[in-house]
A and B are shown apart, each in its own frame.
Chain A
Amino acid sequence: MAKKANTVSTNNDVIKSRSQFQEVFHRLLKNKGAVIGMIFLLVLVIIALISPLAFDYETQVIGQNMADRLQGPSAAHWFGTDEYGRDLFARIMWGSRYSLIIGFGAVTIGLVVGTILGAIAGFKGGIWDQLIMRFIDIFYSIPNIMIAVVIVSVLGTSTVNLVIALSFSAATGFCRVVRAAVMTVRDQEYVESSYAMGLPTWKIIAKHILPNCLSPIIVQYTLQVGTTIISASSLSFLGIGVPAPAPEWGALLSGGRSRMRDASYLCVLPGLAILFTVLALNLLGDGLRDALDPKLKK
């Protein structure tokens, strides 16, 4: 699909050839919101990568320093310090690693599992479809947070278990999206001809069907990462996510809650970090949806 070339005439009437990827990227760059989202995420990834170089985890991020406790934002501590004297700026910077790893990790696992299940359900149909989709329906009848509560209760609280718990709800979303997308392309002639050529089913799904269902999957992935980051912080806020003293953003909010009266910045700033990250992902997701929508093609 990506190799298919499109021809676009420019102002000078010079015929330029763009791959479909270039075409989509070009449209994406025209969307201001998506560009802001992309830049923010890029900065966030850089912060997540350099935070171990800038702050020592043992001493600056989780190490207590009671002499500096509850100091408001200042030149020495840009975001102030918490009740154990830990620098909030350092903790929020480090927290980006947790949010990004959990968000992208859980959604990637969900993507793999959901895509496999959705592709089988959509392509095979019949009893497979019934079995898989009824199973997915069951997960839809339990609130996501309750599924996570059950899984974390079974496996115990840790970052890895949180990722597993959140990947369940991500997988159900991907399964539905992929199934619907596969069903729309499975009867196309190129799929029939692959059959006629004697390709095995898995190869037809992997090489011919899934690449043609990529658009909804990419959009779902971007938006789901945002939702998952919120869910992860919600669970940490409830005390069943990332265990203390790790600086996950939801855990920071939970810790700052008891100090709302005298140190409100402890509650405001980690929440803004979550808000802007999810906002950036949603802007990018919406931009991708518009850029990938063939109806908008000129």
Chain B
Amino acid sequence: MIKYIVKRLLQLIPVIIVTSFLIYWAMNLTSGDPALLIAGDKATPEMLEQIREEMGLNDPFLVRYGRYMLGMIQGDMGESYITGKDVFQTFMETLPNTLMLGGAAVLIAVIIALPLGIYTAIHQSTWKDNVGMVFALFGTAMPNFWLGLMLILLFSLKLGWFPSGGKAGFSSVVLPAVTVGYGLAALIMRTTRSSMLDVIRQDYMTTARAKGCSERQVIFRHGLKNALIPIITAIGMQISMIMTGSVLAETVFSWPGIGRLVNDSIARRDNEMVTGAIIMCSICMCLINLVVDLVYAFFDPRIKAQYAKKG
């Protein structure tokens, strides 16, 4: 298993190199002249040339990229020319907020969707099932930033139950997390329902009933446990969606996370911050995907055995 983890980590290296190269290259095309940003409009051509030389901006692109990557390994991704802040440090400071929001969203989604998925599967083709499916249908069709606005309208402006933005205590997490979590809940509910429908007709479920297990035990211990893998896969596949949802929800709720950092940096034309944040985001996504892969093994011993063979 450890061998497998190491192997997967090593496989990440080329992906990170190519991804960061593409982003660095693309963002490099958009960058204005950093020397001009530093020296200001009144700088003479000689001054600009001197700054470019000092900062290594005259070096070939590949040399600059190599230097950037070497710095990144040591936690140095340069400084923003606009705000003067350290890129890596700023990213690391905001990352926990985004992870917290994403985690809360997944938690809310699972709490709502798992019981609803099981319930609709048990009551297949009844009005209860139809209501559940309408919930899922709206969840996949609703733009989450609009949901965020509607939640603010109802729960902050009209009822005053939750703050409309910022990060201050538990109550401020609820609305952004529901905003990100609803789309995810719809997806998890649909997967849980179809996954439960698959296992509900299996012979071992009948056997469990024949042995005298209660219906609750049959559903949760024998059914749900076997239906979990596709559900975890569905969550794992949606890491990108959670990230995208967070970017938008952070903007709507002024939540101090990566999404807002990127959005504010774009508005300020702060290319260094945008480049650094996007590269770090894709690295985080790769790592989260790896963790999701490893979680499968925890829930399904068959996959663990397969890993052991591969390792």
Interface residues of A (CB under 8 A from B): 137-138, 140-146, 149-151, 153-154, 226, 230, 233-234, 237-240, 250, 253, 257, 260-261, 264, 267-268, 271, 274-275, 278-279, 281-283
Contacts and interface: CB of A to CB of B under 8 A. Distances in A.
Given A142-B23, A144-B240, A146-B281, A278 B157 contact: no
Contacts of B18: 138
B89 to A, nearest CB: 20
Given A142-B23, A143-B247, A149 B274 contact: yes
Nearest to A271: B146
A153 B30 CA distance: 6
Contacts of A260: 149, 152-153, 157
Contacts of A234: 143, 145, 244, 248
Given A143-B285, A144-B240, A271-B146, A226 B267 contact: no
Contact of A275 (B138, B251, B278): B138
A282 B141 CA distance: 7
B63 interface: no
A142 B282 contact: yes
Contacts of A151: 26
A179 to B, nearest CB: 17
A275 B240 contact: no
A237 B30 CA distance: 22
Interface string B264-281: 001100010010001001
B157 A141 contact: no
Interface in B282-306: 282, 285-286, 289
Given A253-B146, A261-B157, A143 B244 contact: yes
Contacts of A233: 143
A271 B244 CA distance: 18
Nearest to A257: B149
27 contacts: A141-B15, A141-B286, A141-B289, A142-B23, A143-B244, A143-B281, A144-B240, A145-B244, A145-B247, A149-B262, A149-B274, A150-B23, A150-B27, A151-B26, A153-B27, A153-B271, A234-B248, A237-B248, A238-B263, A253-B146, A257-B252, A267-B153, A268-B153, A271-B146, A275-B138, A282-B141, A283-B137
A264 B143 CA distance: 17
A146 B278 contact: yes
Given A143-B240, A151-B26, A153-B274, A275 B153 contact: no
Of A138, A143, A264, A275, most B-chain CB atoms within 10 Å = A143
Taking chain A's interface residues, is the majority helix, strand, or loop, or is none over half, making it mixed? helix
B137 A282 contact: yes
A234 B282 CA distance: 20
Nearest to B158: A264
A278 B19 contact: no
A240 B266 contact: yes
B146 A275 contact: yes
Contacts of B266: 149, 153, 238-240
B15 A230 contact: no
Contact of B141 (A138, A226, A250, A261): A226
A234 B263 CA distance: 12
A253 B152 CA distance: 14
Nearest to B271: A153
Contacts of B149: 253, 257, 260, 267, 271
A176 B19 CA distance: 19
Nearest to B251: A238
Interface in B103-134: none
Contact of B281 (A138, A142, A264, A268): A142
B278 A150 contact: yes
A267 B282 CA distance: 32
Contacts of A230: 143
B285 A282 contact: no
B146 A274 contact: yes
B29 interface: yes
A230 B295 CA distance: 31
Contacts of B58: none
B150 interface: yes
Given A151-B26, A260-B152, A275-B141, A142 B146 contact: no
B142 interface: yes
B140 A275 contact: no
Interface string B222-264: 0000000000000000001001100110011000000000110
A261 B153 CA distance: 8
CB-based closest 10 A-B pairs: A271-B146, A279-B141, A278-B141, A143-B243, A145-B244, A142-B282, A153-B30, A143-B240, A230-B143, A150-B26
